[in-house]
Structure formats: C-alpha cells, structure tokens
A and B are shown apart, each in its own frame.
Chain A
Amino acid sequence: MEAPPGGPSPWRKHGVTFGFLLPAVVFLTAWVIYPAIKTFYRSLYSDRGDEFVWFDNYTALFSDERVVTAMKNNAIWVAVVPAGVTALGLVFAVLTERVRWAVAFKFAVFMPLAISLFAVGVIWRIMYEKDPDSGVVNALIASGRDAVKEPGVLPTAKPSSEAVTGTPKGGIRLEETVEPGGTAFIGLTAIPPRDMPESAKQAVEPEAREGGITGVVWRDFKPGGGTPGEVETEELGIPRVTVELRSSAGGKIAEAKTEDDGTFVFEGVEGGQYEVVVGSATFANPFGGVSWLGEKLITPALLIAYLWASAGFAMVVIGAGLAAISRDVLEAARTDGATEWQVFRRVTIPLLAPVLTVVFVTQIIGVLKVFDIVLSLAPEASRDNATVIALEMWEKSFAGQNRFGFGSAISMFLFALFIPFLILNIRRFRAENG
C-alpha cells in the first residue's frame, strides 16, 4: 500500500497522481456528486421551482396515496425477496454440489440473470396470461383442477325448441313431465363446434323402455337448416352430460350420464310424473384462470418473477462459498459423530454466514431500486397496486407530470434507505484495511 522510497520529486509525483485521478474526479463530480447535492436542494423547492417550501415535499410523500402504497410494496419486496433468493440459492447450491450435470442445471437457473429485468417482465406477462389456453401458469392450475373436478361440457348451451326450458344456472329441463316408459328429447343449440367433446357420435333416437325413462341429449343443429326438436342426420349426441330425474316435487331421484350418441337411461322408475333435467353442473363454466396481473395478485406475481430471475445469482455465489469450505472441517465433525443434518446446521451454515449475508444485503439493495420489471409486468390497470418507490420517482418526475420538487423528495427518500448500507460498507472496508 505504501509507495516505495525514492522515485521522482514530490511535486512531479503529485502531478502524475493528479493526472491519473483527474478523469474520475471530473466524472464523479459532474455526474454524481453535484447532481446529488442539487437533488437535495431541489427537493426543498416547489414543483415549478419558484418557491422555497422547506420540507413540504417530504410531508407530501406521506399523504400521496400511491407513494405510500409504493413504500408498503417496497417493504414487502424487502421482506420476501432477500430471504427467498438466499434460501433458493442455498437449496440449489447444496443439491447440485455432488451432481455431475450440475453445470447444465446451473446454466438453466443462472441464465435469467443475463436477461434484462424489463424482458423478464415481458416473459412473465406471457406466463401469467389469464386465459388458461394461453397462459402457462393458469394452464397448469387448470390441468390440476381438471384432474380433481370434472369441468362442465356445455358452458354456453341453450334450449333448441319450446319443448325445453330453463337456464344453464338452474338446469335445463323438459317443459313437460315424463312418466315411466316415456322418452325425453332434450335438444340444445348455441354450442360452438370446438366445445363439442371429440367422442361425440351421430345422435340416436331413444327407444322407449318399460319401467324406465330413456332419452337423448343432442346438439340440435344441422348445417343448412333442420327441424328443431327432431333428431336428424349429422346432428351429434352430446356425451358425458349429467341428466337428473326429479320428482314433481323437485327432489332428485336419479342421475345418469349420456353415452357418445347422447342417449341415457333411467331403469326401474316407479309410476308417476317426472321432470328430466340437465343439471347445472353440465353448464358450469370451465376454469377461467387466476387474474395474476389484476389488482390483488400483482405484487405476489412480481415477486415470483423476480425470484425466478435472481435465484441463480445466490446459487452461484453460495456455491462458490460451499466449494471453499474445507473438507477437513466437515470430516472432523463427522468423525466426532455428528449427523449430516448437524454438520450442515452447525458447521456448514456458520461457515457460510458471511456469504449468505452478502447475498442477502445485495438483494435488499437490488429490490429497493426495483423498477424495470414493475413497469413491464404490471399492466397500467394494476399499477396503482403494484407501484414501487423507483416507479413513483419516474412517474411523478418524467411520465408527463414534471413534478421535480416532489420527484426529488422521492429520490432523497430512496437515498435515505441506502444510508445504512453505505455506512455498513464503509465500516466493512475500514475493518478490512486497518
């Protein structure tokens, strides 16, 4: 660190030093230090800059609804992301430690780090698409749900003739009651071809059966016209429809499912009058998708996307830390009879503590400044709920509002959040360098 003795005269030496430092000093003064001081100064003036308002801009921060939301959101970010990223990184680093193809895994997880957070927002906007037919996240949820609960087949169907009445909500039923030995023709229309189950076959007229009620549920629509209420060629039966048999009092007596040709049978029905109803479950709307980008879920959605983008950073840094831990120390602990979990908990984690701290602190600093991903992932309709401090600073100052006094106060607030880390950094440096 000390310069060697001898060398050129002090004057010349300082001249040289000056030459080496000058460009950096000019840059830092003109683009960082002077503007930062100016920002503080500016924050004490009104938005138009013509009136000294003391700390009014600062008190205004806390009465601006969006700025307050932004502060709360940043708090959520700080609470979730550093811990989440560090935990994910630790898990990934430990899991891959003894795996041969770790390089490939690490690449997959690390790659998003090279992509701009703006593009990460675009990527996840496609992932979060509300319609399960176009958004992966909702498609996964939908397939999980369908495995548990069978979706309705006919969300949009309507009665095809006057013989059938009702609404999808209450169930569609035959106008007239049916008695044993009778048949029920339930014709439905307004079913788009793509909603028809693939297994559907030509509808068949049901045969009357003694002591039972038979019927057919079919798509009563023939290209080029046809007679409503009649089963004709080219008209398909609707499979897997739940048909209920209700007593005239309204109670459900039996339930049947239609075949591929649309027919169904109720056997052994006692004498009396019955209503034949296609139950409302058949018309249930399929899963419409979680509105990830809506007002309620936008912040969790952002956090997930950010975790996806940042986990690789933690994994690599923690992985390097793990690799640096001496095998001897771990072996010694094992020889002393410690279980693997104890070794991990009592030896590995404490030895990793400095690395974990670095990852954690780096992530706090990152999320305090978060901006790009919010701008690209949150649609304008949910910005009020998704907003963060850096976004407010930009919107209030530049996105057409030109509120430079207020914007400067937001910048100062952001800077204030960094001061603890600034002090920490300086302390750490001084400790390391005597």
Chain B
Amino acid sequence: MATAVAPTRAQPVVIEESVATRALRVLARAPVHIVLIVIALLWLLPTLGLFFTSLLQPEDLGEGGWWQVFSEPSKLTFENYRTMVGNEGITSALITTAWITTGATILPIMVAALAGYAFAWLEFPGRDWIFLGVIALLLVPLQMALIPIFQLYNATGLYDTILGLILFHSAFALPFAIFLLRNFFAGIPKDLMEAARIDGASEMRIFFRLILPLGLPAVASLGIFQVLFVWNDLLVGLVLAQDNQPIQPAIASQLRQFGANLEVIAPASFFSAIIPLAIFLAFQRYFVQGLLAGSVK
C-alpha cells in the first residue's frame, strides 16, 4: 500500500511545479482514489440496505431485494415507521432506553469524577494500591456479576426496573471512568491547585469550581462512550428486564421469525441506530479523543 503513496511522499516540497507534472502526479494517485471510493461505498452499502429495507412494505420485500427502490422509487414509504410509532412494545422500549441511558451516563460520571479527583489530588494511605485495584476491575467481564445480581434483583424488587439497570450499568462503567478521569485530572497543572488551596478553597469548592470545568473534555468523551454503550446494550437488558425491556432486547424478541417480522425489525433497528449515530456525529471529536485516551475497556 505504501508504494502507492510513494510518488508524492518522495518529493516533499516542489515549489514550481509545471502543469504537466502536476497532472501526472494527480493521475498517478488516481488508483488510490478509486480504491478508496470503492471501499467507502462497500462500507456504506450494508447500512443503506437496512435503511431501504425499513422503507419497503412486506409485500415488496417478498418480491426482491431492497435495491428495487432504485428502479421503483415510488415503493418507498414511511408506513413501517408509522406502524412502529403505534407499536406499544417498541415505543415504550425506546422511552425506557432513553431513561436508562440518561441515568447510567450521569450517575457513573459523577461518582467517577469524585473518585478520580481523590486518586489524583488527595493523599491517603494505600492510594496507589486501591487505584491498582480499580485498574484490575477494568477487566472483570460483566458476566461475572449477572447471576448474583439477577438473584439479588429478584429478591429486592429491582428486577425489571429502570433503576436496577441504571445501577448495574453505572457500576460497570466506573472502573474505566475513574481510570480516565483520574489520568485527566492528574494532568491539571499543580500551580493551579496550589493557588486554590492557598486561597483557602475547600476540596469541594476546588472540585466543583476548578476540576470539573477543566475536566469537561474528558467528561464529554466519557459521556458519549457511555451513552453509546448503554443505548446499544443487549445482554444486561436481556437478563435484568422482562416487561420493561430496553430497545435492543425488545427487537431481539422479534428475531425468531426474522423474515416475517422484517417490517418491524428493520425500522426499529434503524431507528435505534439513528440516536447513537446522531450523538456520535455531533460529538465525533470527543468520541475520538476518548478512544485515544482509554484504549482498553
């Protein structure tokens, strides 16, 4: 691949470039552009397929692939989405998911910010060891908690509740959140902290007035991660909810008859993907920063 890039790289700065050499250079790179265009189209194709499938009526789907929309655009209709809005199971699952996502994003970030500050700037015995423990918890798969929590929730009435799911997601988000925020907070200049302490500001005040505002970029990337993670979760919802299922498990329950339920599955899947996609698009920068900051989850 690198050889394809070679011509331009080999001549870093050409100050006076004739039209001919320039045309030649562009031409030499044409294959790269063509390859990239083909790859990009291939990568968009599957999602487009879901989108167009969701806009076709079952009887049209029975007749052929979703690409029939190119020859017969009149077949496109929002009918499936209209039906979906009237489908109590799907709409209530979407609302439930929105609540869970909101709670399970705000709560762990608050808790982790407090702990991250303590690990970064407060002195206490065993601090580094405890933090090492948090790092170890990063790699405990949530399967390790499912059975005991399922039983506990059944015994305490938290089973099948929005609160139960929020608490579970929050707990498993904490190790990564504490890790990320502690590292970010630790990078805040020491002078700033000392100045605030000399001014007699309480730790609480420092935390809310100095640390949180400065840590906003980290909080933002963490927030986006968590929104995507919770919104897209299938397993936890499948295990800890039944009638109050979030959207992914709710769609999963339609899978048994994939072909017959496609007019429900396709719009619901596409719609459920729109929300994280929109958030991702709006905050792409923070998402990428978070990705780079915390590579292991």
B-binding residues in A (CB < 8 A)? 1-4, 6-7, 13-14, 16-17, 19-21, 23-24, 27-28, 30-36, 38-39, 42, 91-92, 94-99, 104-105, 108-109, 111-119, 122-127, 129, 133-136, 139, 308, 311, 313, 316-317, 320, 330-331, 334, 339-341, 343-344, 348, 358-359, 361-362, 365, 368-369, 371-372, 375-376, 379-380, 390, 393-394, 397-398, 404, 407-408, 410-412, 414-415, 418-419, 421-422, 425-426, 429-430, 433
Contacts and interface: CB of A to CB of B under 8 A. Distances in A.
Contacts of A129: 65
Nearest to B12: A331
Contacts of A422: 136, 138-139
21 contacts: A6-B197, A16-B204, A21-B118, A23-B114, A27-B170, A28-B134, A32-B144, A38-B148, A92-B39, A94-B1, A95-B5, A123-B46, A320-B288, A339-B6, A341-B3, A369-B143, A375-B252, A398-B150, A422-B138, A425-B138, A430-B132
Contacts, number: 310
Contacts of B258: 125, 379
Contact of B53 (A117, A126, A344): A126
A371 B1 contact: no
A143 to B, nearest CB: 12
Contact of A116 (B168, B273, B295): B273
Contacts of B137: 28, 32-33
A1 B186 contact: yes
A324 to B, nearest CB: 10
Contacts of B49: 123, 126-127, 136
Report which residue of B145, B272, B288 has the largest number of chain A beta carbons within 10 angstroms of its beta carbon: B145
A32 B172 contact: yes
A313 B288 CA distance: 9
Given A108-B44, A379-B258, A98 B65 contact: no
B5 A426 contact: no
B144 A361 contact: no
B5 A415 contact: no
Given A27-B108, A27-B174, 5 more contacts: A123-B269, A139-B65, A368-B141, A398-B146, A425-B138
Contacts of A36: 140, 144-145
A118 B239 contact: no
A144 to B, nearest CB: 15
A42 B140 contact: no
B219 interface: no
B19 interface: no
Q: Name the prevailing secondary structure of the A interface residues.
A: helix
Contacts of B108: 27
A397 B240 CA distance: 12
B273 A3 contact: no
Task: Give 9 closest A-B pairs by Cβ, nearest first.
Answer: A31-B171, A116-B232, A3-B123, A35-B145, A340-B6, A24-B115, A344-B2, A114-B280, A35-B148
Interface string B110-139: 111011011011111000100010111111
A359 B128 CA distance: 27
A335 B120 CA distance: 45
B234 A375 contact: yes
B67 interface: yes
Contacts of A19: 114
Contacts of A368: 141
B148 A42 contact: yes
B103 to A, nearest CB: 13
A114 B140 contact: no
A114 B276 contact: yes
B139 A105 contact: no
Contacts of B228: 114
Contacts of A28: 134, 137, 171, 174-175
Nearest to A389: B143
B14 interface: no
Contacts of B172: 31-32
Given A16-B203, A112-B43, A418-B141, A371 B235 contact: yes
Nearest to A14: B124
Given A126-B266, A320-B288, A408-B147, A376 B252 contact: yes
